[in-house]
Chain A
């Protein structure tokens, strides 16, 4: 219930703030500028409310002041009930009701949701702020005591603002203005610096606001600021449009940049002209007020229009999408449908029925008709966007990302701008001239939309229910046990942990010494390099060996794509041909079209292929519906928006979440659950068969904060901040953890190794550990700047190429660290060693071998993108890859 209220009242505002903050952040890539922008926007949005409150309060104060003398006399003269009677009679005579004081409070209290929204949004915001902003600033250090300077600056500004605001007030009214900042100082003293910073900006604007209001120039300044804000917004949009939306050749791009910027700047004249004309028109307006009244949209009609927008956005659009692919979005979970639907309804009820009416009621009476007409125009434009001029965007996944990404050709975007302008002009004309007709159409549309939505809702629920029945049938089969281990034969397991960082291992084992027991028989190779910095460049050598290094793979063309697909098949096919039963799951993609890549193994009889993480992606429905909820609203807005604005709203699939990670917690969770359920999927067989299994897991690629100290996933995590960011020291070497990207990567690495260790323990119990060879490798590391001596130069951080490699051979014991120079391309060779004689790549016929590391250096591509294989910079490295002196640019 309380959650619903939050979703109705505050969520829409928080949503707006999120869009403002992230939009600025995306363009500037600077969290402080984004804070300034957000603060400015919040100040500006709440300004009309503030002014209204100020006006009401002044009136109220004046009234009270005028009555003060006699109220005081009445209080002195009369006693008991009579005092009440006489006082009330006096108020009545003066047309004053004590309840009027609430009138001025109302607009003031309306601001509170804005404050809560800003506070909540910024408190919950992750990934964006650097570590120094993510905690109390502690800028000043005196001896062992550190003092947070920002809250003190904030208080000083506050006090100055208070002095200006309270100018000419009595001390009795003044004191609270000075006590309040001190209270805030105490409350906010230990808050994270970003919050305090935001608060400081807010106060600076409030200071300016107070100065402007005291100077009596509020009107003029407000107009100028409005024009500037509009200009800023338009330029921001133009920059964004040019940088991301339109993919075209350079000259066309610069031309459109100039054009859109000019259009944006010229369009600034619109508010300037409107604001200026207002004054001259005022007299006319008063005259036309009456004629307006005649054909006026009644309050009821405006509410119907709001309701139409509500039905369209909260139910119609979502259920059109849901009913097209119910199971893809909801799996078999009915609860998820319910909670998502309720969220959408609450949210849009908040937007249209609550805040829509607040805007209506706060506008001057004469302008309410205009507000109503604007709602009408928005409705028709939305209908036009959703039904008429729309883009074909293909399928969406459960968190509303398009399978192909947002891909619309630029001329279509230009076309959509033209169509939008035409439609807007037509709708404005119709609404202005024939508002009655347009209203009737809306009323009709509402009814039909409700009908169709109901049909779609039933359809969705029915399909999801049926799917639920099917799923429970399937899961009752024992088909889940896909990891097969032979008790008497040999087992080989290759595990790729995407982006796992080799340098973490000593710290992980230092923190959890008990892991050594689990990893009995493993050799850890710290001195391991990956020749690619991303999956597209580093994963194929892991599966295919030295024939598939970035240098050899070449560019991002079709030949390279099929070469990559080939790399993934090298080990499975080789083992399969040598009488191993082969299972592969979740291998990296080769860059082929969007269909399930694992299908390429269907042509081999002895190879079974799965997509495990996808299965587990749906395991935590609570969480998935969380992501569906927030993204649903964004997605609905996208669908309701004109095509040219859609890519902006799509935000590369992030929908204005601060990071991919937080928006797609589900993706990471699927990976987490996959590792967590390895034991359930394991089957131990009393046979002489040999088994080969290979799988990839991406938990290490989805940094997230986990619950300390056991690094488990929980919905609400309350780790001690200082513990979180404390740097780790092992063997005298410091690993920095101050930034969230740093410790979250460490968390998922740790969690992955812990969960794998648990699996290994199980294998030991089942007696299939000693006859199993296990290779854990990663395709690449990640440049997180955690190790001082890894930084070769501005572009090269060894951490990005220091991939993970741990190998456990048959019957080996103990946990050992060897400093041999290794490469993840050694994996195929390590896997087949001593098992398959003269093992050859089944596609090229070349023998799988170790590189002659003493003679030939590794050529490392300093880029994550496969497309940069030709243009990117290569570095050579030899001997000890962890020594930055050994890296030289080729």
Chain B
């Protein structure tokens, strides 16, 4: 039977349906091949049975040293509980790995595909993590984990992750009640099941707060210090204004600390290197590449950033004013995109905790800084918003552990 003859008895309705069907098959075939290819690409050696972990009550998964503040207190509290807990990190230099613990087992699980293989076959009742993109990227839900719990490593509406970032978590332990509305709205827009949402607080800000209280007030520099801490990517301050911004700030005569985003050092190394080279002889400029931002934050009087979440750390923990740069961020890859340009929480509170500057304001920046740092009522407004936003201040780790204890079903 010639293939052409095959079509001879098909009427137009059926015929076009057939054509559509064939296209469908082709496209799903393509999808399949891609899936297959991805599987091969992400393939790691089959795990030995012996490598399989004994089922834990809780496994905490951390991406590494930058999240030590998020997890350390939780780990310490869990160490005192009777839950069986593991702490898995993909960063060999994660400080928690060297923490002295009696109950919690810490482990470096390697990185890359090896780590994914471990993660994807994890055996635990609850998995706690800050990492977005579960089930979206290579990190898949393990069939042997009952509940995935997300906690935040920054303050936002829960919309700052790349698309679908937290959709495959079961539970969100939020920073404050304000996040709930946004999370529910996104769920509704996508027509997906409501996740469990509970307010826990913000563990790393608690830590920052403690550090700040512990640190002596060593502010002996009479000169005002400006911290420029941009985010990264095309719409970040350095990419958008670059030298113009630095020149403008230097013109104020104030001391300037530039703290590029850690991701910039990876993605935009050339741009950063260029800038460092350009100002290497200028004593007025200080470059901060340290792991912790604590020092820089505590030293500075005013922070200039785009919408990096560091503004909240600075405003809420150090109680200092913030200047946002007027950059139109491309949010299309983020969950935020689903709200289609709506002014969301973080833009709404700009005026409450700081001020916004545009390119034309750069000439006038000294006045803006002086005005901000000397304004008195801004502190009050800041505090109102701080309390609205940040729940359970100082008690977040306890709240998280409480949640874990109450919800863990794995009774031995």
Contact = CB atoms under 8 A, between A and B. Distances in A.
Interface residues of B, number: 45
A161 B12 contact: yes
Name the 3 nearest CB pairs between A and B, nearest first.
A101-B24, A105-B21, A206-B11
Given A118-B9, A173-B16, A184-B7, 11 more contacts: A85-B133, A85-B136, A94-B190, A98-B27, A98-B28, A104-B17, A111-B10, A115-B8, A165-B12, A165-B13, A187-B4
A108 B35 CA distance: 26
B337 interface: yes
Main SS at interface, chain B = helix
Interface in B1-25: 1, 4-22, 24-25
Nearest to B23: A101
Interface string A66-92: 000000011011100110111011101
B135 A89 contact: yes
Contact of A187 (B7, B17, B136, B162): B7
Contact of B337 (A73, A81, A93): A73
Nearest to B30: A98
A184 B31 CA distance: 31
Interface stretch (B163-171, B203-211, B362-370): B163-171
A839 to B, nearest CB: 63
Interface in A43-87: 50, 53-54, 57, 60, 73-74, 76-78, 81-82, 84-86
Contacts of B17: 53-54, 57, 104, 108
B191 interface: yes
Contact of A76 (B34, B163, B332): B332
A55 to B, nearest CB: 11
Interface core residue of A82, A89, A114, A166 (most chain B CB under 10 Å): A89
Contact of A111 (B14, B19, B20, B164): B14
23 contacts: A53-B14, A54-B17, A86-B163, A89-B167, A89-B168, A94-B190, A98-B24, A98-B27, A98-B28, A101-B28, A108-B17, A120-B1, A158-B11, A158-B12, A159-B12, A161-B12, A162-B16, A165-B16, A166-B16, A177-B15, A181-B12, A203-B12, A210-B13
Nearest to A122: B9
B139 to A, nearest CB: 10
A177 B9 contact: no
B333 interface: yes
B344 interface: no
A105 B25 contact: yes
Contacts of A209: 13
Contact of B13 (A102, A115, A184, A206): A206
A89 B27 contact: no
Contact of A116 (B6, B16, B163): B6
Contacts of B136: 85-86, 88-89
Interface in A611-647: none
B24 A112 contact: no
A210 B167 CA distance: 42
Interface in B130-172: 133, 135-138, 162-164, 167-168
Interface string B168-186: 1000000000000000000
A253 B305 CA distance: 104
B24 A202 contact: no
A92 B140 CA distance: 12
Contacts of B10: 111, 115, 180
A125 to B, nearest CB: 14
A646 B27 CA distance: 51
A298 B387 CA distance: 63
B349 interface: no
B397 to A, nearest CB: 30
A159 B13 CA distance: 11
Interface residues of A, number: 60
Contacts of A202: 9, 11
Contact of B21 (A84, A108, A165): A108
A867 B199 CA distance: 104
Interface in A195-209: 195, 199, 202-203, 206, 209
A499 B109 CA distance: 94
A543 to B, nearest CB: 50
A85 B137 contact: yes
Nearest to A158: B12
Interface string B322-349: 0000000000110001000000000000
B267 interface: no
A183 B27 contact: no
Given A86-B164, A158-B12, A177-B16, A93 B190 contact: yes
Contacts of B24: 60, 98, 101-102, 104-105
Interface in A164-204: 165-166, 173, 176-177, 180-181, 183-184, 187-188, 191, 195, 199, 202-203
Interface string B85-101: 00000000000000000
A81 B39 CA distance: 12
A93 B167 contact: yes
Contacts of A290: none
Nearest to B26: A101
A99 interface: yes
A119 interface: yes
B335 to A, nearest CB: 11
Contacts of B21: 53, 57, 101-102, 104-105, 108-109
Interface core residue of B6, B13, B16, B35 (most chain A CB under 10 Å): B13
Contacts of B13: 50, 161, 165, 206, 209-210
Nearest to A209: B13
B333 A177 contact: no
A199 B9 contact: yes
B275 interface: no
A695 B33 CA distance: 71
A73 B332 contact: yes
A86 B137 CA distance: 7
B77 interface: no
Contacts of B251: none
B31 A98 contact: yes
A187 B8 contact: yes
Given A78-B333, A109-B21, A86 B11 contact: no
A92 B11 contact: no
Interface core residue of A60, A73, A77 (most chain B CB under 10 Å): A77
Interface core residue of B7, B12, B13, B28 (most chain A CB under 10 Å): B12
A85 B10 CA distance: 38
Given A86-B163, A176-B19, A183 B7 contact: yes
Given A105-B24, A116-B1, A184 B8 contact: yes
Contact of B164 (A89, A119, A166, A176): A89
B362 to A, nearest CB: 31
A57 B17 CA distance: 8
B271 interface: no
B14 A108 contact: yes
A102 B6 CA distance: 19
B9 A77 contact: no
B6 A108 contact: no
Interface string B396-409: 00000000000000
B96 to A, nearest CB: 29
Nearest to A159: B12
B265 interface: no
Contacts of A57: 17, 20-21
A435 to B, nearest CB: 38
A790 B54 CA distance: 101
Contact of B11 (A74, A118, A161): A161
Nearest to A105: B21
B47 interface: no
Contact of B135 (A92, A94, A166): A92
B384 interface: no
Nearest to A166: B16
B1 A180 contact: no
B162 A108 contact: no
B191 to A, nearest CB: 7
B28 A112 contact: no
